[in-house]
Structure 1
Amino acid sequence: MRRINRLGLSAGTALATALCCAPLASAAAPATGSRPAGDKEQIIHLTAVVTQATSLGFPPPGPSQGDELIVAGNLLQNGTQVGTYDETCTTTRTDTDDTSTVQCVTTLTLPQGKITVQGVFPIADTGPGDISLAITGGTGLYRTARGYVQAMNTSSTETQVILHVIR
């Protein structure tokens, strides 16, 4: 179950998705490409810090289909806490080359609402590679949110998260 543990500490990562509020936004870009007129993409940089993590392993020993990782943590921007996240990751596939695939579902709780994120990515003995997940929706100010999240682990308990939020 060691691989999914590494993921969890990064999954707390994958999540930190989404905010379209001025105090949290680090950059905003005008609508481009095939987005409907009036839609705007905001790029938000956050740090996800794990505060709790529990892994559940199922037979056989080692990484196996159905293993789960449950993670909770804080979302920081410039060292200040701006929210929290909650995430569950399930191993969906194991391969003979010592890699596995996980499906993660995350909720980011921010002052003006919540953002939901989900997706699948591979994990090897060295940990997850680049993580890219979809923003699937939200509540409050984020009720029409969509876009994607990129994440990269910077330590065993911290992940840098870049949110590409479109509303």
Structure 2
Amino acid sequence: MRHFKRVGLSAATGMAALLVCSSPASAASGPGAGSISGREQVFDLVATQTQGSPLIDVDDSSGPSQGEEFVQSGNLFYGGAVVGTYGQTCTLTRTAPADEFDMQCVADISLPTWGQITAQGRFTVTAAGPGDIDFAITGGTGVYRTARGTIHAVRVSDTETHLTVRLIR
């Protein structure tokens, strides 16, 4: 795997996890646990990648190209317990010199008891990695059917990301 591909995959892994959001505290008490103020709910999750495709290369170039993509999925944890799963697809949308590129990602978080949350966003990956990532919550199903807000992700490793979900319902 070329250097830029490894950086992109690691960044996406963290991003994928970041897109993963649900109320982990809800595992014992139902959705809405965690810090709640008015209609805003804030909670932290840990996303761990369990599957991931290699970056799908659309041409034979030695660097990143528009349209290259990857797919990932994994588990969401709260307090050490699995509370749901996530899946995401990311596509390279812009390339630049020095192996810098932008990725557009779409993700779905599934919490079997309460519903699903969808999120998406775009971020830049450099040789140093993706940095912290913020995504928009675009909707949901079940108790999350009116969901909006943001997800802030901090990549800890290639397979683990810490998420702070700010959910407005």
Q: TM-score, normalised by structure 2?
A: 0.88
- SS at structure 1 position matched to 2:158: coil
Matches within 5 A, 1:67-106: 67-106=68-107
**Which 10-residue stretch deviates more, 81-90 or 1-10?**
1-10
Structure 1 partner of 2:42: 43
Cα-Cα RMSD? 1.5
Q: Are residue 27 (structure 1) and residue 27 (structure 2) matched?
A: no
Q: Which runs of 5+ in 1 are unaligned?
A: 31-39
Matches within 5 A, 1:9-158: 9-19=13-23, 21=26, 22-23=29-30, 25-30=33-38, 40-54=39-53, 55-59=55-59, 60-110=61-111, 111-158=113-160
Q: Which runs of 5+ in 2 are unaligned?
A: none
Identity %: 41
CA distance in structure 2 between the aligned counterparts of 1:114 and 1:157, rounded to whole angstroms:
22
Q: TM-score, normalised by structure 1?
A: 0.89
CA distance in structure 2 between the aligned counterparts of 1:155 and 1:73, rounded to whole angstroms:
14
Q: Are residue 5 (structure 1) and residue 4 (structure 2) matched?
A: no
CA distance in structure 1 between the aligned counterparts of 2:147 and 2:23, rounded to whole angstroms:
8
CA distance in structure 1 between the aligned counterparts of 2:95 and 2:21, rounded to whole angstroms:
27
> Contact (CA 8 Å) 2:98, 2:127: kept in 1 or not?
no
- Cα drift, residue 165 of structure 1: 0.2
> Contact (CA 8 Å) 1:44, 1:163: kept in 2 or not?
yes
- Cα drift, residue 18 of structure 1: 3.6
CA distance in structure 1 between the aligned counterparts of 2:49 and 2:12, rounded to whole angstroms:
8
- Cα drift, residue 12 of structure 1: 2.2
Tell me which amino acid in the other structure corresponds to 1:127.
Answer: G
CA distance in structure 2 between the aligned counterparts of 1:19 and 1:166, rounded to whole angstroms:
12
- SS at structure 2 position matched to 1:56: coil
